[in-house]
Structure 1
Amino acid sequence: MPRIGMAYMVARWEEKAIVSAARSRGAELELLHMPSFYAIIGDRGLGAKLPSVVLQRSISHYVALSSTLLLESLGVRVVNRGQATAAANDKVWSLSLLAAAGVPTPVTGVAFGSDAASKLAEEIGYPVVVKPTNGSWGRMLALADDWEDLRVILEHREYMPQPEMKVHLIQEYVKKPGRDIRVTVVGGRPVAAIYRYSSHWITNTARGGKAEPAPTEGELGELAVRAAEAVGLEVAGVDVFEDPERGYIVNEVNPVPEFKNTVAVTGVDVAAEIVDYLLELARR
């Protein structure tokens, strides 16, 4: 049985499920606890002692990217790869890749100052959503119904010390039917999908949204796979909106997706799908 590994920071439900799935298959899953891990960049000697394939599950975007790049410098095959993780974590980068691949997305623009942001919002048309260029769980999203709303949001962002807050990603507000869709993609296959319902315009289940099973066959699953492949992700959570006129459009892709709620409502063993994919890569 080939050796596989998992890089992680905190053992959440998902990481424990992956450990259990590996154990049930008799696979050797080596746990790389990132707060305790260190290595010299390019140390292939250490790399030879590590599992040939490592799944990245670090909860921090920055730790996930840096540790992936470090492991890749040691000659380790990481899922997802460093460049794909970097692209997925940067909304401007990932949306650019999706657009280049012809994947439908919400109308989105980027501005670097308040005056430019005002003009951009007028061009897109209110209401608009103002997003950080990175982040997850629906954090730091703001809805502007008009210029006065946008002015307050931009003023608040200008006082924030983080330089990324001076980059204003402005997106159309998609009139979705009280829900969005999360499709989990593993190894080029849509293995499970859920509808996420909420009375709030942010429908992320981490923010209290409720989940129900969604189909993976047909157009929805195919679009999710196209989106994951456009960004280079092998394991991904693809968030999809249903636009009343345009149909399915991809909002974003996630390189370290949570899947507890997906498993709970669909019964699909996502952890087993991931472990099987890792073992397949390790056998090559």
Structure 2
Amino acid sequence: MTSLAVLCSRVRFEEKQIFAALERRRVPYSQVDTRRLIAEVSGKTRADAPEPAVALNREISLSRGLYASLLMEARGVPTVNRADVITVCGDKLRTSLALERAGLPTPRTTVALTPESGADAAERLGFPVVIKPLAGSWGRLAAVAPDRATAETVLEHRAALPSPQQHIAYLQEFVGKPGRDIRVLVAGDEVIGATYRYGDGWRTNAALGGRSEPCPVTAELAGLARAAARAVGGGVLGVDLIEGPDGLLVLEVNHTVEFQAFQLAHDHAIDVADAIIDHALAAGRVREAS
């Protein structure tokens, strides 16, 4: 019987590390390509296709990842991360609302439901402002608007995009961070570690060429990262923090976290794949082979 199913359509550095750790620990597993996943809504299990004890969702596509978790959970398979967590983390407004309900410090955020009202919202928030898409990663389609004219130009471009979701104006204050932000990896209540992420511009994403360096895990940092992870529902998460003038702020929470830059920054001293597997096995109450 397969103990663990890894849901993914692309095998990146992270998935290779997870597969290697599973093989080293002799945990029976299978890779399930979500592009070929077929599941009956009835939830009935075929005798020739027993369900895994737990599913680890590493799907890069937000839509496929969400529905893959939904289908697994409907069949009684514990899934990391759960569909409700993906729903919150995959939408910046839902994330902001969850963090606000938990009383956590975040940048001031304003939302307008049309591009036309977005410039007024930006002016009310105060320039410069950061305009972000509700869904997306790696800093794509995010822009800093120093004035109303720039905000109108960015929002006019968004209005021309075919997705109605892109027409929602999600705006945040521009926080004068010290040229870096902080990525904290969390698995359940365990803080795996943290890195500073530096960039040449205002964005520090590793996918955009940002560099990572080890960041000390203080009690304040660990407590805030755990609280942010709990606020969105928990699981294996990447919590992004920024250093504001009055202390740490939670920027966002990522549900399918990449960790290649993290491991390189720590010179492989921290095994992220092992921590992820530990959490997944605990969620499925799976015992490793002796």
Question: Which bin holds the TM-score, normalised by the shorter protein?
Answer: over 0.9
Is the 8 Å Cα contact of residues 233 and 255 (structure 1) preserved in structure 2? no
Mapping of residues 67-86 of structure 1, within 5 Å: 67-86=68-87
Is the 8 Å Cα contact of residues 186 and 274 (structure 1) preserved in structure 2? yes
Alignment match, 1:283: 285
Alignment match, 1:249: 249
TM-fit CA distance, 1:155: 1.0
Separation of aligned partners in 2, 1:64 and 1:152: 33
TM-fit CA distance, 1:249: 0.4
More moved, 109-118 vs 185-194: 109-118
User: Which residue identity lines up with residue 73 of structure 2 in the other structure?
Assistant: E
Alignment match, 2:26: 26
RMSD between aligned alpha carbons? 1.5
Separation of aligned partners in 2, 1:272 and 1:42: 34
1:79-100 Cα distance to aligned partner (Å, 9 max, x none): 0110111111011011100000
Is the 8 Å Cα contact of residues 127 and 173 (structure 2) preserved in structure 1? yes
Alignment match, 2:12: 12
Indicate how the Cα distance of structure 1 residues 104 and 52 shifts in structure 2: closer, same or farther if over 3 A, else same: same
Separation of aligned partners in 2, 1:13 and 1:46: 33
User: Which residue identity lines up with residue 37 of structure 1 in the other structure?
Assistant: L
Q: TM-score, normalised by structure 2?
A: 0.94
TM-fit CA distance, 1:118: 2.2
Q: Aligned to 2:104, what secondary structure does the other structure show?
A: coil
Is the 8 Å Cα contact of residues 3 and 52 (structure 2) preserved in structure 1? yes
More moved, 114-123 vs 103-112: 114-123
Q: Aligned to 1:55, what secondary structure does the other structure show?
A: strand
Alignment match, 2:143: 142
Is the 8 Å Cα contact of residues 21 and 272 (structure 1) preserved in structure 2? yes
Separation of aligned partners in 1, 2:172 and 2:98: 16
Alignment match, 1:109: 110
Alignment match, 1:50: 51
Q: Aligned to 2:32, what secondary structure does the other structure show?
A: strand
Is the 8 Å Cα contact of residues 84 and 231 (structure 1) preserved in structure 2? yes
Matched residues, number: 283
Mapping of residues 79-228 of structure 1, within 5 Å: 79-228=80-229
Gaps of 5+ in 1: none
User: Which residue identity lines up with residue 7 of structure 1 in the other structure?
Assistant: L
Is the 8 Å Cα contact of residues 46 and 74 (structure 1) preserved in structure 2? no
Gaps of 5+ in 2: none
Separation of aligned partners in 1, 2:270 and 2:123: 44
Indicate how the Cα distance of structure 1 residues 202 and 176 shifts in structure 2: closer, same or farther if over 3 A, else same: same
Is the 8 Å Cα contact of residues 237 and 253 (structure 1) preserved in structure 2? yes
Alignment match, 1:37: 37
Q: TM-score, normalised by structure 1?
A: 0.96
Alignment match, 1:273: 275
Separation of aligned partners in 1, 2:86 and 2:242: 22
Is the 8 Å Cα contact of residues 45 and 51 (structure 2) preserved in structure 1? no
Separation of aligned partners in 2, 1:21 and 1:141: 35
TM-fit CA distance, 1:281: 2.4
Separation of aligned partners in 1, 2:131 and 2:65: 25
Q: Aligned to 1:216, what secondary structure does the other structure show?
A: coil
Separation of aligned partners in 2, 1:58 and 1:149: 35
Is the 8 Å Cα contact of residues 186 and 235 (structure 2) preserved in structure 1? yes
Shift >3 Å, 4+ stretches: none
TM-fit CA distance, 1:278: 1.6
Separation of aligned partners in 2, 1:46 and 1:70: 15
Percent of pairs identical after alignment?
40
Is the 8 Å Cα contact of residues 44 and 75 (structure 1) preserved in structure 2? no
1:11-34 Cα distance to aligned partner (Å, 9 max, x none): 000001001111111111221111
Separation of aligned partners in 2, 1:46 and 1:182: 42
Indicate how the Cα distance of structure 1 residues 6 and 114 shifts in structure 2: closer, same or farther if over 3 A, else same: closer
Separation of aligned partners in 2, 1:53 and 1:232: 18
